[in-house]
Chains A and B, each alone.
Chain A
Amino acid sequence: MKKINFKFIGILLLVILALGSCKKWIDPNVNTSPDSPPDVDMSVLLAYSEVNMAYNTIGGNDIARVTAIWMQYVAGISRQSNAEQNYYWFNSDDNNLWNTNYSATMIDLKQIFEKADAKLKLSPAEQSVGHVYRGIAGVLLANALGATTDVWGSIPYKDAFQGFANLQPTFNTQEEIYTTIQSLLTDAIADLRATSSSAQRDLIYNGSASKWIAAAWAMKARYALHLSKVSATAYTDALAAIDSGAIASNAGDCDFVFSGYPYSNPFFNFENERGDVQMNSTLIDTLIFRHDPRLSVYADPNGDGDFKGAGFLYTGDGSDISWPGAAVAYETSPVPFITYAEILFIKAEAKLKSGAYPISEVKDALISAVGASMDKWGVLDTTYMAIYKGFIQAIPDAATDLLFTEIMRQKWIALYFQIESYNDWRRTNNAIGLTPNPKGSKIEIPRRYPYSVDEVTYNSNTPVVADIWQRVWWDLAKK
């Protein structure tokens, strides 16, 4: 009997041991995915944010392509692109864009802030690193917020990005968002000035704080100018920002450059995988009429070697129509966040509209802007520029409207496929002079995006928007 008891006790002990070791066995660390780290360096977040902004937030097919169709750079020949050209754009169509902007682009930038803030409490060397990341993330966040509010108006910000703490954030007005954009940029400049470090994995400026400062001032100028309908100081604020040190050459352009397959430009991928988008006759005809040398980089000739765009009444299969070219639709085409040419155009417009500068300065800025744009694409033709200069100089000083139209039209050409043109078009009440698609669901170019279906469904605070012709705050009907 005794012998059995010993064995009993032994085995019972074994059972107890087995149970006791459960605690060790159920190691919480096992539930940490080896493929998804719980912590990473800020630099990999920065790289991801930049690619994501280029691929989605700024240069994405849901924003750059759609607004480029509306701005008549390109034509939606078939399928969804044709629906977009006919001004069908629903809240399920911009769902991806909204979701990426919030749940990837902006929260990743917020994550960089969190990590950089932690560095600010450490040694001076660490603080310096913290500042450079804070600065770059600030510029990018301002840009992302700007791109988001410009198409949606009121958007969540102050209550956003809190996860479980707030699953249904309230919306801030566009006016509040614009204040935030400017203060983010102000803080970013301060941070970038406070650093002696450079950021790692920065795919835009290779970590250079000084280049980011110039980009920050450029953004300040752009977002000041956006308020030209609602703020009396829009032009002077923009000019002040430019003078404070905005991008001063094409070399300083804030461009995201794709490195080629499989790291390709999103519009290239779209055209490669789906096609459907070719050149619009509005742009092609303008460039041909003006003998503009950018034609060869903006579009590829059709099979017959001709440049031909599709008008709204075009019904063919696209085989005779030019395709978008190297500037926007090649594997390695860049996605510009903000460029020197845009700064020169802002300068021209602000100097003209503020009325405090001689017209010659306006004209100089315009001519420089056009030259910078052509130079960027390697098609700067001095003969052409001399003729163009003569043409601009010939405009009488009193003909400010004509000059303004020329500035905006040239800006539209220069900012080919950039979302900024859609802002300019709304802000200037169509100074470019686009004619809406007569086959549109309404014969009027849309003025906003609808709130995404997911946000409407899962956030009861989402404002109600009548339709895509409802204006955002800064887009006053009259001015």
Chain B
Amino acid sequence: MRKFTIVLAFLLLAGLQGVLAQTRVISGVITSSEDKSPIPGVTIVVKSTTIGTTTNVDGKYVLSVPAKYDILIISYVGMKTKEVKIGESNTLDLALEPDIMNMDEIVVTAIGIPRETKALSYSVQNVTSDDIQKAARTDVINSLQGKVSDVQIISSAGTAGAGSYIAIRGVQSITGDNQPLFVVDGVPIDNSGGTFGDVSAGQGVDGVATSNRAIDINPEDIESINVLKGGAATALYGLRAASGAIIISTKKGKAGTGRKINVTFSTSLTLDRVSQLPKLQNEYGQGSGGQWSSGNRITWGPKLDTCTYDKTFTGAPGTPTSGWNYWPLYDVDGAVVGKNAKNYDDTKNQNPTGEAIHTYNPYDYFQTGVTTNNSVSMAGGSDISTFYFSFSDNQTKGVVPNNWFRRNTFKISGDTKLSDKWKVSGNANYIITNGNRIQQGSNTSGVMLGLLRTPPTFDNSAGYIINGSPYYTDGKQRSYRHGGGYDNPYWTSGMNHYIDKVNRLIGNVGIDYYATKWLNFSYRLGVDWWGRKADDQLAIGSAAQSAGWTKETSETKKDFNSDLIMTIDKDFAKDFNLHFLLGNNVTQLYYNLLNGTANGLLFKNYYNLNNTESQSTFEQTTEIRRAGIYADLQLSWKSMLYLSITGRNDWSTTLPASNNSFFYPSFGGGWIFTQLPGLKDNKILPYGKVRVSYAIVAKDASPYYTQTTYNPYTIADGWTAGDPFPFANTSGYTWGPGLGNAKLKPEKTKSFEVGADLKFFRNRVSFSYTYFNNMGQDLLLNAPIAASSGYSTMYTNAASMRTTGHELTLDVTPIKSKNWEWDVTVNFSRIRNKVLELAPGINSLFLGGFENAQIRAEVGQPYRTIYGTDWKRDGNGNMLIDDNGFPIPSSDMVPLGNVDPDWTMGAGSTLRWKDLSFSFLIDVKHGGKMWNGTRGAIQYFGTAAETADRNDSYVYQGIVASTGQWNTKSVVRNEDWVVLGAGNGFNGPISNNIEDAGWVRLRTVTLSYSLTHLLKKTFIKGLEVYFTGTNLLLFTKYSGVDPETSLLGNSNAQGIDYFNMPGTKSYTLGLTLAL
């Protein structure tokens, strides 16, 4: 907090005049009256001038005061401002007293305007640099987990560099992006990526987990993160922030450090282990019908304790598959045979004296992930200029072999006062992010797919040399299905690479003009430019592409953002303050994707498009331009009543030319009722505020939907991959089939928010509550229409959806003394959502998933409802049981649960004793379903732990369909039922595998110790060591991997687990050294 105010103080000082002649030099230390500690960042201004400075980290200041002035104004946020007359002495030390009324935080709001939270009519939440650093997460999004109410964050996988979904206050759009805008130092940056393919088209369940681009931010550079949640908070940012905004302020150089440069070095080492994994059985072996068979896809073979190994049979690959075959290439231990004739019909192949069968743990595949993170920063500044430079290196070796991620960032920022009126600033950030990602999900190369389907008797690792030449013969790889079926996970991670590399430049330049004390102008131009190259490679001999395959993708994103802002800040009458802002924004978003795909490699291990005889290419470009003007009027009276009105008008190219302008306002009010005469200076409740706001937030359309166009689409038929165009050197285009809509208008969300902020007992207890109601109207979606109209879909404004929620924050500091401090923070959120309308004739819209397990938006249901098949049920919801004692599957698709939780809570506490600090954060997600498709599949394959009960009798609880009586018939859930019948996730209803994905987890636990005071006399300014554990404890009913997972990455279709990569738990040891 304090560090942050330094930045603020700096902004305030920016317009102050330079040093005048005939001066005396005053110096001193500013401390806090409460604990006598020095306060850095205190503003000291010579009254009636613009001359001033701020205190350094030790609370010290040096100020040249012109001879004719003698009063200093000393102010600091949260402290009572003091005016002090300079005496004879040139030393002036002062203790500032806390000011309850002004203990409010300063936060950066929309358009980079710092503002006291007491003046806000909406809720905001702030996360500090310390929290971010000690969370020790590579992706800054993940460091916010559990710390902010109404913010949902889901890491898609535990692999290095996997993307994360983030949504604030649920969802606003039906098919559009529901993720917030990321703003760094006032300039929006891109956070695209992290999904696979066109999710809305039902693709994307296979592939690799890619990063979303917020991962490019170096967490060490962050000073603070402020989360803007509601429409009123983001109204000035307009449509790009319609789903909220994550406002990131980076560290800056500090004025007045002179020639001294502050150098900070931080390093950390993180070890990752896979966390929860699906439970597997190791009692039964590969095969079917209780008999071992080499190469069989399923594990419904013999009970292993009745078997031994036999190597006497030496059948080779190519001999008939029936009967006993020993395949030494595959079954390295030998053939599995019975100890005696009882187990097998085939009496020839018994070995009563053979070695007992041992089983392999497929999870031995996973390794300990290692992340090293090193960063160094240098900062400094004079009264005129400041600078900040940093370099960071993050190297992650994932828990999956060969999965790695690396990020290097270089940042330089600075500002300088050209005169007493003009200031220029600049910021450049160059980032290189690259990695090797591993195939996952529903994909014959998927690691978990290969691992979990492998029978316990098969050693996947035998003969494999990762990174070298794997065991490879006859053009086939070594896998439990004799090289067929799925890729051996070792093959996947060793041979099938997906290497991507991003080069990114984020920069901005700004100029500020302080026309008068109350009027200034500022201009900022920002650019975010990244290029990404991805090489997706499947080796010759891979299951999906036996002839080898490579796809090379090149992506370019170029975003420009320009803001010109005029600000008026004036006390125009005795108790009235006016703050007025008028701004212009111009944005350009450009994206281009080019890829070439080549099928059938001529030579091994040479991944180049030229290594094939036929290639296909694809190009996609989108460009959006927007312009807007916005105004913000803030009035305050006696620091008690606050009124805020904003309005923004945008023009967007994605809307029809005749109707591309749209206006949306917001209104807000805050009343600090404790300022009333009777309530003022109350000891119990020194601060109380109620606030209310209403805002309309608009989003423009996706590009290129206003007109129907011709397209060279591949001709397909729902059965096959189809024939591409150009067709054998002949170009071809088809009209539509999407119907261009010249009547598009922006979709709008009307958002209402009301809340209260209360602070008790000298700020020891603070409580904040907010209720919001977001009503989305004219929401855009691609609606199917009757093809006889000549078109198959129409992009139109048709849907509506309501989201309401409660968020609660409680901060308690039971103990606060010089040596002890104990702080407890609780965030609670509860969101309800209902889709009210989609489009005429459309009650259901597919968001993502599989044919029989879909995430849908369905009228009358919450957004993101899992749809799928269930058992037949009677009117009371009881399963109907057939005469054989088994439940009866139904082929109807029905709603099976809501993906989003009932409520979430983050509860954290920090206990500090002197320089030792201990903190933890418990993250609770209550409710929310997930389709555990993995479970349904591994039941079929007979590897799931539950299938060990294959010979036990079981009574299905339900009503016998023919008699209406409760079922009492016991059955055995054997291969006939599980594999051939409806007892698995492929043939049977998916409802069996809809699981509660709620959790209680120890999200982080941190122990840190500062050695700074021990080193006071040395050149070391600060030294801190810390340990952080992440996800060390996880309590969940979910039976698969860590339920914080998403097959479809950060798309809207959350809630799908189909052989997802497992999550991780991490242990970090870190050190920060300041010189």
Contacts and interface: CB of A to CB of B under 8 A. Distances in A.
A203 B727 contact: yes
Given A26-B660, A31-B703, A38-B707, A160 B614 contact: no
A97 B716 CA distance: 10
A395 interface: no
A68 B855 CA distance: 36
A113 to B, nearest CB: 12
Contacts of B794: 164, 167
Nearest to A37: B710
Contacts of A272: 720
A103 B790 CA distance: 4
Give the size range of B's interface with the partner. 35 or more
A163 B732 contact: no
B790 A32 contact: no
Contacts of A100: 717
B737 A40 contact: no
B586 interface: yes
B725 A169 contact: no
Contacts of B1018: none
A102 B788 CA distance: 5
B263 interface: no
Interface in B588-627: 599, 614, 616, 619-627
* Max chain A Cβ within 10 angstroms of own Cβ: one of B566, B712, B734, B842: B734
Interface string B712-747: 100101111111110110111111110101000000
Interface in B657-683: 657, 660
Nearest to A169: B788
B584 A263 contact: no
B619 A163 contact: no
Contact of A102 (B513, B652, B787): B787
Given A36-B709, A270-B719, A458-B784, A99 B586 contact: no
Nearest to B562: A18
B21 interface: no
Interface stretch (A48-56, A211-219, A223-231, A238-246): A48-56
B841 interface: yes
B152 interface: no
Contacts of A262: 599, 614, 616, 723-724
Contacts of A11: 513, 515, 521, 566
A147 interface: no
Contact of A37 (B706, B709, B717): B709
Contacts of B707: 31-32, 38
* Max chain B Cβ within 10 angstroms of own Cβ: one of A7, A44, A45, A101: A44
Contacts of B720: 61, 266, 269-270, 272-274
Contacts of A96: 717-718
B627 A25 contact: yes
Given A33-B703, A60-B717, A19 B791 contact: no
Interface in A394-412: none
A399 B653 CA distance: 75
Contacts of B620: 35
A462 B786 CA distance: 10
B859 to A, nearest CB: 14
Given A19-B629, A100-B717, A266-B717, A48 B785 contact: no
Interface in A101-115: 101-104, 106-108, 110-111
Q: Is the interface of A mostly helix, strand, loop or mixed?
A: helix
Nearest to B592: A34
A306 interface: no
A31 B654 contact: yes
Interface in A425-458: 452, 454-455, 457-458
Contact of A264 (B723, B730, B735, B784): B723
A44 B720 CA distance: 23
B516 interface: yes
Interface string B336-364: 00000000000000000000000000000
B734 to A, nearest CB: 5
B73 interface: no
Contact of B627 (A26, A28, A60, A269): A26
A261 interface: yes
Nearest to A30: B653
B789 interface: yes
* Max chain A Cβ within 10 angstroms of own Cβ: one of B564, B624, B739, B789: B789
A98 B516 CA distance: 70
B760 interface: no
B704 interface: yes
Nearest to B656: A28
Contacts of B728: 259, 263
B264 interface: no
B704 A33 contact: yes
A39 interface: yes
A22 interface: yes
- Listed from nearest, the 6 A-B pairs whose CB atoms lie closest are A48-B732, A36-B709, A459-B786, A28-B657, A269-B720, A103-B737
Interface of B: 513, 515-516, 521, 564, 566, 582, 584, 586, 599, 614, 616, 619-627, 629, 651-654, 657, 660, 703-704, 706-712, 715, 717-725, 727-728, 730-737, 739, 741, 784-792, 794, 841-842
7 contacts: A7-B513, A28-B660, A30-B653, A160-B790, A261-B614, A262-B616, A262-B724
Given A27-B625, A262-B723, 8 more contacts: A34-B623, A40-B733, A104-B736, A160-B789, A160-B790, A163-B739, A454-B786, A455-B788
